[in-house]
Structure 1
Amino acid sequence: MQVAEEMSMNIIEELNGNIGNIALKLRGFIRDQVASFKKKGVVIGVSGGIDSSVILTLCVQELGKENVYGLLLPEEESAPSSKVLGAEICESLGVSYEEVPISPILRSLNIYNKKEKILKRICPEYDARIHKTSLVLPDFLNTGLLNVPYICLVNNGETVGKYRLKATDYLELIGLQGVKQRSRMLVQYMYAETMNYAVCGTTNKTETVLGQFVKYGDGGVDLEPLADCYKVQVYALGKLLNVNEEIIKRPPSADTWSHYTTDEEFYWRMPIQIMDQLLYAQEHRLSLQVIEKSTGLSRETIEKAQRHINRIKDTTEYIRAAPPVCYINR
């Protein structure tokens, strides 16, 4: 890329400049992969979020509504809007769907009780009858590299307590939360194999690059159409495909905490428009001057953010990697 051309670049415009062709490529990928697997259609876990809504729409356009099956997989701590919005988009596209609550699976593994014991140990005032909880990290743009997770107690929409987590507590909670995504995938494969369908994933490139998925949970699928689409591109696809505006405006979330916790609050620690520009700049080795101009961030903040991103990539490398194999017969 010429220097003058690079300096005039707006990264968001660069990402979203060819969104119509991206949609066509995704449809072709879905068609080809389902055919190569010799499957009749796809099963999709529909969350009421932008990723699953875009995938659902693309699959219907390419495979036909009769070859797409939606699963709503709520649990006790899911936001009620997830089920409502998920059902609405299935119905608007004419897709057959079913609600399969995963709470019985989680209760059988004692997940809720174990989680409550940890929360009471961390937050003495915690009362499940009045408090909702969320796991958050400090906003990167205001706090820099500080990376300490907190449990927030929320009552009637207001934070009434904030407790710093020890590493052991954090790992224990993450281990319990991951069971939710793995339980959802278990149900999806049960339906997919019964119907001779493939399980279609909804993880986007931002999540893939940052390791923002659960191994053998939302990462354990047959095909992953959005894995080369940054989150801002998924939003652009949503607008192109006329996805419900309420879904487009809904903050993205794993939806596994009783208080709806956005990915910006816990994982990205900055607005997604900033995160995706930084990731794109890393991928294409754009200069600091271009990043400064496009993001409006200072050079110092950009350099800190890049270190933050590199640290996330390093610590989540094992999530993206295939299981190592010991080859003995070569």
Structure 2
Amino acid sequence: MQTEKVVEHIVTWLKNYAINAKVNGFVVGISGGIDSAVTSTLCAKTGLDVLCIEMPIHQAPSHVTRGQEHITFLKSNYKNVSDVKTDLTPVFEEFKTEVSLEGEQAIVDMALANTRARLRMTTLYYYAGLKKMLVAGTGNKVEDFGVGFYTKYGDGGVDLSPIADLLKSEVYMLAKLLQVPKSILEAAPSDGLFGDARSDEDQIGASYPELEWAMKMVEEHKDEADFFGREKEVFKIYKRLNTSNKHKMNPIPICTIPNNLKQS
């Protein structure tokens, strides 16, 4: 990949889109992860205003530390970057007092994890509206179009997606060029939605390099019968998630009313 030219292409695309939309810049949620680090840096390179927002909800200390380190890095290198911290833990806890928490624990935990992402989306759009900015998405290609590893109307609710055509390995290539802090480059990818140190691989059952391989195999029209052992297991994981999460990746279904029924 021609990494420098890819960076230039994305930065130009971001700047042109914002100028045409007549907005002031971008809002980015900072998680301490590689995707938000790359996205926020690309936005910063446009020269337009960038607001980085920390939104902890019982966040693992390591995530908070990495996020703050990255924001410090951005502000020291780009004069157009500002930041704000919105602690959503009290909001989340109050929400839990008003809803039912009965049911199978794993299902309740997942519903609450998705609620965290949706509270953060609401916060990003609050500040975006306040400051006339766009919410920049941080999803990569494997997450957004492969396994659907994001929350519908949570981190999937954005105005534009600058890195959604890049595989995770390609995001890392950009990160190194953009001099993203070493602590973020070396950290295991994690969505941080459960308040602990579990990684994306822990949740998915496969690493990003494995998922990229499976994505390529599907594009080449391979079948489960073509593989054995770990490759077969990863292929099945990818296919299962790709199928079950189509509702996130496909347009919302619309019930089309026949013309003859609309006529009185």
TM-score, L = length of structure 2? 0.86
Give distance in 1, aligned partners of 2:195 and 2:249.
28
- Look up the equivalent residue of 2:66 and give its one-letter code: L
Residue 60 of structure 2 corresponds to residue 79 of structure 1: yes
- Deviation (angstroms), 1:112: 11
Structure 2 unpaired stretches of 5+: 76-80, 260-264
Q: Which amino acid aligns with 1:41?
A: G
* Residue 216 (1) aligns with residue 200 (2): no
The aligned residue for residue 247 of structure 1 is 184
The residue aligned with 2:138 is 202
Partners of 1:112 and 1:229 lie apart in 2 by 40
| Structure 1 contact 111–176 (Cα < 8 Å) conserved | no
Question: Partner of 2:206: helix, strand, or coil?
Answer: coil
Q: 2:171 aligns with which of 214, 226, 234?
A: 234
Say which of 175, 188, 198 aligns to 2:111. 175
Name stretches of at least 5 consecutive residues in structure 1 with no aligned partner: 1-16, 119-167, 293-297
Query: What corresponds to 2:86 in structure 1?
Result: 100
Q: Residue 50 of structure 2 aligns with which residue?
A: 68
Q: What is the match of residue 307 of structure 1?
A: 236
Matched residue count = 251
Structure 1 residue aligned with 2:5: 21
How many Å apart are 1:104 and its aligned residue? 1.8
Matched, 1:43 2:27: yes
Shift of 1:323: 1.9
**Partners of 1:240 and 1:170 in 2: how far apart?**
40
Deviation sequence 1:86-141 (CA, Å, 0-9, x none): 222222222210110111211121169976x77xxxxxxxxxxxxxxxxxxxxxxx
Mapped partners of 2:52, 2:131: distance in 1: 12
Report SS of the residue matched to 1:228.
Answer: coil
1:281 is aligned to 2:217: yes
The structure number with the bigger radius of gyration is 1
CA offsets, 1:275-321, max 9 Å, x none? 212213323x1879xxx9xxxxx744433432321111111101122
Alignment identity in percent? 27
CA distance in 1 between partners of 2:26 and 2:100 (Å): 35
Q: Which moved more, 1:197-206 or 1:320-329?
A: 320-329
Say which SS state the counterpart of residue 39 (structure 1) adopts: coil
Residue 91 and residue 57 in structure 1: after superposition, are their counterparts in 2 closer, same or farther (change >3 A)? same
Q: Which residue of 2 aligns with 1:88?
A: 69
Correspondence for 2:78: none
SS at match of 2:37: helix
Q: Which residue of 2 aligns with 1:257?
A: 194
* Residue type at the aligned position of 1:178: N
Divergent runs of 4+, >4 A: 111-115
Contact residue 210 and residue 234 of structure 2 kept, 8 A: no
User: Hey, what's the Cα distance between the residues in 1 that align with 2:153 and 2:105?
Assistant: 22
Residue 63 (structure 1) shift: 3.0
- Alignment of structure 1 residues 72-151 onto 2, 5 Å: 72-76=54-58, 78-94=59-75, 95-110=81-96
Kindly state the Cα deviation for residue 18 of structure 1 after the two structures are TM-superposed: 2.6
